[in-house]
Chains A and B, each alone.
Chain A
């Protein structure tokens, strides 16, 4: 049977359909979308940099506008960006900022460093050997849902208020996730790569070293990058609770004197350190994973 249908140009023709069904209705063709709103379409360089500028300047602009608008008290709620910068500069000049930043960075290096040193080999074992997966995955999968911060009271009872409790908190907050993500990266190695390695004469250890680790290295670095954010969270939490130095400790001190411009400056410094670590690890990943 014949049914009328219209084409994009508006011409109406008859369409044959079998079995006496009426012709399927056609939807009108979609309107052309500008690249800015098309899925994954490349956008121009200018559009890209404009959007980046809007993102950064827009946020600072909104902050600045709100702080000078008179809607909030700049001394008690929201300092201006200029006041924040001046406060940061002052703390840097006195050397205080560097002492605090170094204390915090040192704790991240110890706690997160230990977490990486333990989780990467364990993740490789879990991703490589089914036995390793069966042995470790159930317990790690369970423990990772216990928030590391919930262990703070226990850690203080066990380890006191010194450095060990802070390093342990960072360790607990990053070790489990990094282990599971490393194991996932290792499991992503195609079975054919492993099979071919054995047919070319490699043994198990050689295959782990020359196939499994090189293939999953970019993924492992990515996992460290993602979990470094958690390490920064944990160190600041630990310092807020109990510390004699560090950026988190400084915030609690400043809170007592309502020095919110200094607090904002320290928040900015924490954000900058996190961003730097992220960028460095991203560059490392891209360099190691040039072959991708």
Chain B
């Protein structure tokens, strides 16, 4: 009927886990994406090669127009690359599926469903008992601090609470990779810090592979084990840096000399590629 129905077919086969520990769980091989425009095409991404190991926390930073959101859309399977391949555990991604959870900047939480029923959404399509569904939803509500709000409607929630719902809803499907597209970009500074600590804790509790896109360099350094810097027009990988900080991080680490040094060098890189892009 539509192009979407063909995209929505079962996405990626995923077998085993432990044996594959050392293998890249998510792999982009020479991926390019062009959007058609009148009289030509706009190149959003060009020649992206990216390997993300199982359980890794990777942040992508770049100025606007560097194709960061397009990258997540390709991995989620909502759009198809013009060239190259997106592989999850070695199998090509052919469409969206619950093994790659996606959270937008403004979470697209369903306003007619309560918090609890939003989190349960993905489980409704699976052959599991009502009791198991309830137990799983309850666990993710507790993990994201939403237990008291489980009967609330989204219009009663703050921006930070809405993002928690979106994250819990994606996690409830047990994704291989959690894709976060500027998830805290619309939040105030204090809420943003709470959410950064929350996502770090979720990563440690669940071991989910996380790919987070942001334009906030301190956020990327604080959250990621690796920070990938994107250059603009067309979007491409400019640098891939390891964050040499302990896994147990708290907000005071943001003032550590090591942190600040890495933050400065990444900010310089982002600025260089942005200047190059705008021609200043």
Contact = CB atoms under 8 A, between A and B. Distances in A.
B81 interface: no
Contacts of B124: 210
A195 interface: yes
A198 B111 contact: no
Nearest to B108: A192
A199 B76 contact: yes
B96 A195 contact: yes
B126 interface: yes
Interface residues of A, number: 26
B203 interface: no
Contacts of B76: 195, 199
Nearest to A204: B5
B5 A203 contact: yes
A198 B155 contact: no
Summarize A's interface: helix, strand, loop or mixed.
helix
Interface in A155-185: none
Given A195-B96, A204-B4, 20 more contacts: A129-B1, A131-B2, A190-B108, A192-B104, A192-B108, A195-B102, A197-B121, A198-B77, A198-B78, A199-B76, A201-B97, A201-B126, A202-B8, A202-B125, A204-B5, A204-B8, A210-B121, A211-B110, A215-B110, A292-B111
Given A129-B1, A193-B110, A292-B111, A199 B100 contact: yes
Interface in A121-158: 128-131
Interface residues of B, number: 35
Which residue of A197, A201, A202, A210 has the most chain B CB atoms within 10 A of its CB atom?
A201
A65 B110 CA distance: 55
Contact of B101 (A190, A199, A203, A215): A199
A198 B96 contact: yes
Contacts of A206: 125
A128 B112 CA distance: 19
B101 A291 contact: no
B170 interface: yes
A206 B4 CA distance: 13
Interface string A203-222: 11010001100110000000
B5 to A, nearest CB: 4
B117 to A, nearest CB: 10
Contact of B102 (A129, A196, A211, A291): A196
Nearest to A129: B2
Interface of A: 128-131, 190, 192-204, 206, 210-211, 214-215, 290-292
Contacts of B77: 198-199
B102 A201 contact: no
Nearest to B76: A199
B1 A204 contact: yes
Given A130-B2, A199-B170, A201-B122, A291 B154 contact: yes
Contact of A198 (B95, B112, B113, B126): B95
Contact of B153 (A128, A214, A291): A291
A164 to B, nearest CB: 34
Given A195-B102, A200-B169, A131 B1 contact: yes
B62 interface: no
Contacts of A195: 76, 78, 96, 102, 108
14 contacts: A131-B1, A195-B108, A198-B95, A199-B78, A199-B96, A199-B102, A200-B122, A201-B125, A203-B8, A204-B4, A215-B110, A290-B153, A291-B153, A292-B111
